[in-house]
Structure 1
């Protein structure tokens, strides 16, 4: 995923820009000979949908986790998170435990906070803490992250698993028509006891659901 982990930070933070980078990476590194099962959560889910719609030859099947193909208004949810991460003084930080305590007021959910702290790393050579994601770029791109690009009547005709957190409000019943219009073979599954961070809050149920879908796709005569 561009702007995350060890992936490059170059290019605009938009679903068109990130989709192009993802497609190029898939084409050269993974899907040169055989299309892949592409999985994306939230922002990554929108990017994955865009890749499937624009470069369907690279994607055998798609898994979209707790997001819909629409513009959203989730800035109010993400802004306190970004403010908390940006407000953490990495120059005086002693350890990850201290970071967890300092972030609790801005990110009160223990699961979300622990998930986000996976992006905090220590450079033993430079003796400093750093974020392994483009925090500044993502902070200034909340509007682009909330957006969804027009798709020019494209569809992806491969199998699609749409995983929702049963306690999340990121997917609502009205989204089903828009999802099915772009992905005619979509199947929706709601994971009980999970909010938006489905894979972090219910990892066993999420993994079992994902594995069953991947096994079914891999055994299909359509995928060789």
Structure 2
């Protein structure tokens, strides 16, 4: 089953974006539109169990990387070669794809994640609990859902981020027609797998790699630097001032300013 994608820009795509946990491809639409003004066409992926892509029975990073690779070959042919940009969970998929399918990846951009266990993913536990607590049969509107979610999720931006996954579709089982578009049960039950990093052995990716961290985010630590350089010898780390984990939402202009010269190298 193919993954859902969105194309932004014209011409042959040269940039691919992979979103993070509970996200979807359109989270990168603003930056992709900025890149389109500089003649870069982008493909925005909904990863498995997210957005409009299919659900699976397991959470498996190597399988996701292979699925994205297969999709690129299907859409762009055997000569596919792109700049791959991945944030958080999508950053781990991007790193694995660069390691396992380097012929498809001209350049790699990893946004606020490291090739290690990401213990910070456990902060999603209360978010999963809050989403599961919503009685979808009693929701009259998206606004009502946000009000209910506010009891457990204080940050309005986080609430809106989560509620992008709430879809209105009437079914016989759900008289009001609201349902989660992401696979909440699988993701909620496998947060430890989301946080994990698989054993990749002694492989390395020879191409250029840009490692972007938010200055206010705890996801990239000094102890991660050596492993990142082993896997990606050409890596260069930049920190975006004032940005947290969601760098593309906190500082889209600054992140775009880092991406454009990297794309031109």
TM-score (norm 2): 0.76
Distance change in 2, residues 1:211/1:93 (3 Å): farther
Among 159, 164, 167, the alignment partner of 2:213 is 164
Matched, 1:115 2:115: no
Aligned residue number for residue 147 of structure 1: 196
Q: CA deviation at 1:212?
A: 3.2
- The alignment partner of 1:133 has SS state of coil
- The alignment partner of 1:74 has SS state of helix
Aligned residue number for residue 173 of structure 1: 222
Aligned residue number for residue 133 of structure 1: 182
Q: Deviations over 1:169-197 (max 9, x none)?
A: 01112211111110011111111111111
In angstroms, what is the RMSD of aligned CA positions?
1.8
Distance in 1 between the 2:64 and 2:188 partners?
16
TM-score (norm 1): 0.89
Aligned residue number for residue 22 of structure 2: none
How do 1:30-49 residues align onto structure 2 when only pairs under 5 Å count?
Answer: 30=76, 32-49=78-95
Distance change in 2, residues 1:123/1:159 (3 Å): same
How do 1:79-90 residues align onto structure 2 when only pairs under 5 Å count?
Answer: 79-90=125-136
Q: Deviations over 1:1-22 (max 9, x none)?
A: 1111111213521212222222
Do 1:35 and 1:59's aligned partners in 2 also have CA atoms closer than 8 Å? yes
Q: CA deviation at 1:92?
A: 1.3
- The alignment partner of 1:38 has SS state of strand
Q: CA deviation at 1:34?
A: 2.6
Moved more, 182-191 or 200-209: 200-209
Q: Which has the higher contact order (CA 8 A, sep 6+)?
A: 1
Aligned residue number for residue 76 of structure 1: 122
Q: Segments of 4+ in structure 1 off by > 4 A?
A: 124-127
Aligned residue number for residue 245 of structure 2: 196
Distance in 1 between the 2:57 and 2:104 partners?
21
Do 1:46 and 1:68's aligned partners in 2 also have CA atoms closer than 8 Å? yes
Q: CA deviation at 1:137?
A: 0.9
- The alignment partner of 2:179 has SS state of strand
Q: Deviations over 1:55-104 (max 9, x none)?
A: 11111111111100001223430101111111111111122222222222
Matched, 1:93 2:139: yes
Distance change in 2, residues 1:92/1:37 (3 Å): same
